[in-house]
Amino acid sequence: MKFPLCVLGVVVVSLCVCLPLCASGAVVARPSGEAAPQSSSASPDPGGAEVVIPGPLRSFLRMAGISQKIPPEEVLPLLSRNVFAQGYEGSSRPTEFLILLSRYVQQARELTNLAGPDATIRVANCDQTGPLLRVLGYRLRSECGKSNTTLETADPERAFLTIDSGFPLPELERTLQGGSPFAYSFHGSRVPLLFAETDWTAASKKNDKEGSTNLLDVILRDPAVARLYWAFSRLDPDTRAVLRQSVGLRKLMPYAAVLDFYGSRICVRSGSVVVPGGSGAESAWKDLVGAAPQSPGEFALKMLAKDRGWLAAYFDALSRVRLSQQAYFTNARRIRHFYEALRAPEPSADATRGSFRPAPGLLLLVTRLQWESSGDPHVPGDLAVWKDILRQKTDSTVVRDIGKHTDRVKNPDELVQAMFCISR
């Protein structure tokens, strides 16, 4: 009898705690008394740097698919996430969402020019309608100033943006019918940003040719910048400041996807990366990464770059294990053996493929493993039962290979090592 791939998840799950996943938290060891950083925080860095969004923020959020209820500091991170997640088909073809958003930004800039120094679009009579209607994509359907005066579409693309962004077209139409003068506040919206605008525009290789100094344009045109910005917004302020200064945004750009998926658990404190297992595991992590945690920039860069992101995935998963259990995984011998088992099945596969993090079984394995009072992993039944399970016929090449060598599984550590391999 063959077991389908979906059943293989039971092999990992059976070694894990059968409690709700939210029943316990797991964080990287941190200095005594120090709280874990809020990885989802997008609080701006000191300095008050801002970027101007053309037109009312309400209209921009509507076009960008962002909630109207978010605080200003979340605007650029959520915009960046939407651009790289929803803005492209494949690697470079823009979606309709991104095309419409880019067109809206251009239209909003044209309306800003019409609004003038007082940031108000004014139409007092029929003679002043021409420039505004051209930008909006409309024209008069009948003679201006009459009670039956109406507007009709002249440019469908612009007209769609006008309606979708919430421009008050009915009020304008009433003015053209002889009503009171039209006045619409069209202020630009200032929102906080991480670092300085030039840090991001200079980091974009795609921008080398275009030479834009506007961060909004760069985010809309370069998905790598968008993804890196989103990833940085989820780091705590101290950590992102260290990475910016010691590595630089341009060097991190090729690893934006890895930092997005697995970077939120990178934490720099007192000039050193806080590693799973604490200070006692720093030597083991140095050997595995190829750089010491005391050199946070080099450590982070090498970890993100190594093995197509799988070392960063490993670090992230172990960072979520209970503090009392991290020592087991980060033992100098186990940490390398478990990692080699994890990356063995498909060394050429990216740890960032797809829209969601691959290998969810890895996180389930390390965070839900049960333990004996001795500190060893709990094996439901006994090793002989698990050897029989691994020898069953299956569609998985990985499990078949392990099943051929079950004689090597002689203790709980070796069974856990096999589970690391299967978790991929």
258-277 pLDDT, tens digit per residue, is 999 999 999 999 999 999 99
Q: Phi/psi zone of residue 116: left (φ > 0), alpha (ψ -120 to 50 degrees), beta?
A: left
How would residue 208 be classed by pLDDT, with cut points 50, 70 and 90?
A: confident
154-193 pLDDT, tens digit per residue, is 999 999 999 999 999 999 999 988 888 999 999 999 999 9
What CA–CA distance (Å, rounded) separates 158 from 135? 7
In this model, does residue 17 exceed pLDDT 50? no
105-145 pLDDT, tens digit per residue, is 999 999 999 999 999 999 988 888 899 999 999 998 888 88
In this model, does residue 345 exceed pLDDT 80? no
Question: What's the pLDDT score for residue 275?
Answer: 97
Yes or no: say if 53 and 201 are a contact pair by the CB < 8 Å rule. Answer: no
DSSP 89-114: ETTTEE-HHHHHHHHHHHHHHHHHHH
Residue 410: what are its φ and ψ, rounded to 5°? Answer: -115, -5
DSSP 380-393: SS-HHHHHHHHHS-
The token duo for 382 is: 């006994």
Q: Residue holding tokens 């997005």?
A: 260
Question: What's the pLDDT score for residue 45?
Answer: 62
